[in-house]
Amino acid sequence: MHSASELNFEGGTSGISTRGSDKFECEAQNLFILEMVRIRYSSSMTVPQTRTLLSRVALLAATAIILLTEPAARTAIAAPASFVRDPSAWVIGPLVRGRNYSVGMPLHPTAGRNGTWQIDLPRHPGSVHYVTFPHGSLQGKTRIVMRYRLEAAPGVRVHASTAPGSPGIITPYFQRYGDNWTARGRFEAFRWYGTFATQEITPGEHMIVAPLNANWTAVERSSAQGSPAAFREALADADQVGFVLGGGDGAGHGVYATGPARLVVTQFSVE
């Protein structure tokens, strides 16, 4: 399901390197950019909201210092449940070399009712590809559980961006820290897809359960069963967790809706 046409990005994400200091610097830049984007589009924030945002920036800075001084500490860091429920913690992407491959979309989902968050699916030529948040290590975790609902006007369908007319699909996903998006050499095994749990995106309530001991697949040829060491390393050094939308020639190659449609995430948990 994963092809080089989109998932193997030349040049990586803002030049992320696997060398310690360079890797830290680029990661810190990415975190800072995300927060600055929020500030740019939040000029009407109240004083309490501003204080909350500055606290988040301070927390990110403190976390970055930990990652610089104690790289092994990443395996002990995982996002709290409240972070998972915060739509501003999630990014609609992927963001690669300054380009967002989700076309015509906001950077973050929007808040819904009762702790849910949602994404209004775009019409063609817009598209949604990756939806992720910085969870951290998956070491010791057993499964990813997601509950979601597609609200759509009668007759509206969700199609794969690369195969108009074909059904759009949703797949659980995680990414190892330090991926350069080329899928070359060892980086072929940095992004993992729970294709065994893939679902067609249709109206109504749905649930995805993706055990972390199942046969996850990487970008091109690797699988959890065929490359167990690479999979274990990816779990231990995981960074982004979430889901991808696609179909046609790739699980994360994007979807669009033929009319008004909203994807509402009512639960996302890493257990």
What local confidence, expressed as pLDDT, does residue 170 receive?
A: 98
139 within 8 A of 235, measured Cβ to Cβ:
yes
Let me know how many helices (H) and strands (E) the chain has, helices first.
5, 16
Let me know if 98 is exposed, middle or buried by CB neighbors in 10 A (0-12, 13-18, 19+). Answer: exposed
Alpha carbon 270 to chain centroid distance?
14
C-alpha dist (Å) from residue 258 to 134, 174, 178: 31, 28, 36
Query: What's the pTM?
Result: 0.77
Q: Which of 235, 148, 129, 135 is nearest to 192 (CA)?
A: 235
Residues 6+ apart with CB under 8 A from 188: 218, 219, 220, 221, 222
Residue recorded with tokens 């949604």:
128
d(CA 200, CA 237): 30
In tens digits, the chain (271 residues) has pLDDT values of 454 334 554 333 333 333 333 444 444 445 554 555 444 444 555 655 555 555 555 555 555 554 544 545 555 556 666 567 899 999 999 999 899 999 999 999 999 998 899 999 999 999 999 999 999 999 999 999 999 999 999 999 999 999 999 999 999 999 999 999 999 999 999 999 999 999 999 999 999 999 999 999 999 999 999 999 999 999 999 999 999 999 999 999 999 999 999 999 999 999 9
- CA torsion sign for 227, 228, 233, 238 is positive
Residue recorded with tokens 């699980």:
251
d(CA 81, CA 231): 24
Number of domains in the chain: 1
Residues 6+ apart with CB under 8 A from 36: none
User: Structural domain of residue 184, as residue ranges?
Assistant: 4-270
| β-strand partners of 193 | 173, 217
